[in-house]
Structure 1
Amino acid sequence: MKDTFNTPRLYHDLSWLWPLWGSPEEYAGYCSHAMRLIREHARLPVRSLLNIGCGGGKNVFNLKREFKVTGLDISPRMLDLARKLNPECDFVQGDMRTFAPDRRFHAVLLDDAITYMATRADLRAAFAAAWRHLSPGGVMVVTPDATKETFVQNETVATPAVASAKPANVDVVFVENNYDPDPDDDQYEGTMVYLIREDGELRIETDRHILGLFPLQTWRETLAEAGF
């Protein structure tokens, strides 16, 4: 598969769908686990946290209860959603491979957004940027969607829109399919199909995400190369 850094529609013209795909409260369990790891492994009191690839701010919504959170994302439209959900938090637009806010943080959370690093060079660049913005004694938690060892070929999931978040005349079903067309490279396809009904009228939108798929050993090596 061709190496590319892609800009999926979910983060651009279809960003209005994001608040309908899972409520912020559904992210609480994941965030609790991440916060526990941070507390256990940090060698300093953690007060500030950088959420790289914060998207629409659903993780920030939960993390801000314990930390002063700054969110970073490449998509202006997703940052607009994040600010609306978390008006008391700071947000910065930037590429996780090259961003340069003039400060360091006690902790960094790099959630499934890291999966958009679809080459080893991109992965190394993202980790190096995170390292430059981490305070000495701080900790980074990284949670990719899958590794080569855990990937499930042709996995497909359908999720209905959050009832409380959608307009009265709108229904949406999100269908996500993960497929690796070439097991010998470091990428897979995440294909999204959005079944959108407005006043009962169906339209179907599609969205293709090119995602990174690396062996666990590659994650360990690239983290070590960055200084972790």
Structure 2
Amino acid sequence: MTAAPEDIRDVYERQAAIYDAQRSRELFEARWLARFAACLPAGGRVLDLGCGTGTPIARWFIAEGFAVTGLDIAEAMLAFARERWPEGDWRQGDMRDFELPERFDGIVAWNSFFHLTPAAQRDCIARMARHLAPGGSLLTTVGPRAGEVTGAVGDETVYHASLSPAEYAACLEENGLRLTGFLAEDPETQDHSVMMARKDA
């Protein structure tokens, strides 16, 4: 089955309940989340791009005392987050064209950024850079190498893409961000490839 980036919203709208039931709560991401959080001021503002149901990434930041804004393309995913944290700041929006009035100390895009095409990823990096406060940090998952592949959400196929590590480093630099960490297929995070960057102060 083929997958197109334009299908992402509809897939997550249909698969929200299955995704939520299947999403690991083991917090295999914890080491990277802690490393990222150490770069942020206590109680700082965090934008969770592609926050999904809020579990487990936004939940972790909320528990650590950060002010979290969650943005996701699928209302069905956000419904879970709003039910769990009715006082939370949950917004429907698209990573490809979001424009928020706030600036954030940190932006995390775990298992969401890689659904964008390579061109849209370059645009999104520029957009994320504009939404970061000076000295702010970025944490995202990418691919280990340049290319387009497919993944799965529930029983549906979804689009994934990545630039090369060198391309990411160059794109970050062009937007005033400095690469501070990259690990391809980290075995401690179920083989996710993880990238961190920091905006110039």
Q: TM-score, normalised by structure 2?
A: 0.76
Structure 1 residue 3 displacement after superposition: 7.0
Unaligned runs of 5+ in 2: 178-201
Q: What residue in structure 1 maps to residue 47 of structure 2?
A: 50
| Alignment partners' CA distance in 2, 1:36 and 1:18 | 26
Q: What residue in structure 1 maps to residue 60 of structure 2?
A: 62
Q: Is the 8 A contact 2:104 2:133 kept in 1?
A: yes
> SS at the partner of 1:7?
helix
Structure 1 residues 190 and 57, CA gap change in structure 2 (3 angstroms) = same
Structure 1 residues 113 and 2, CA gap change in structure 2 (3 angstroms) = closer
| Alignment partners' CA distance in 2, 1:129 and 1:46 | 23
Q: Say whether residues 1:126 and 2:157 are aligned partners.
A: no
| Alignment partners' CA distance in 2, 1:31 and 1:77 | 26
Q: In angstroms, what is the RMSD of aligned CA positions?
A: 2.4
| Alignment partners' CA distance in 2, 1:32 and 1:132 | 26
Q: What residue in structure 1 maps to residue 20 of structure 2?
A: 19
Q: What residue in structure 1 maps to residue 175 of structure 2?
A: 226
Q: TM-score, normalised by structure 1?
A: 0.68
Aligned length: 174
Structure 1 residues 3 and 76, CA gap change in structure 2 (3 angstroms) = closer
Structure 1 residues 84 and 10, CA gap change in structure 2 (3 angstroms) = farther
Structure having the higher helix fraction is 2
| Alignment partners' CA distance in 1, 2:43 and 2:120 | 28
Q: Is the 8 A contact 2:9 2:73 kept in 1?
A: no
Structure 1 residue 131 displacement after superposition: 1.1
Q: What residue in structure 1 maps to residue 190 of structure 2?
A: none
Which amino acid in 2 is paired with 1:90?
D
Q: Is the 8 A contact 2:5 2:115 kept in 1?
A: no
Pick the structure with greater CA Rg: 1
Q: What residue in structure 1 maps to residue 91 of structure 2?
A: 92
> SS at the partner of 1:56?
coil
> SS at the partner of 1:57?
coil
Unaligned runs of 5+ in 1: 149-184, 195-205
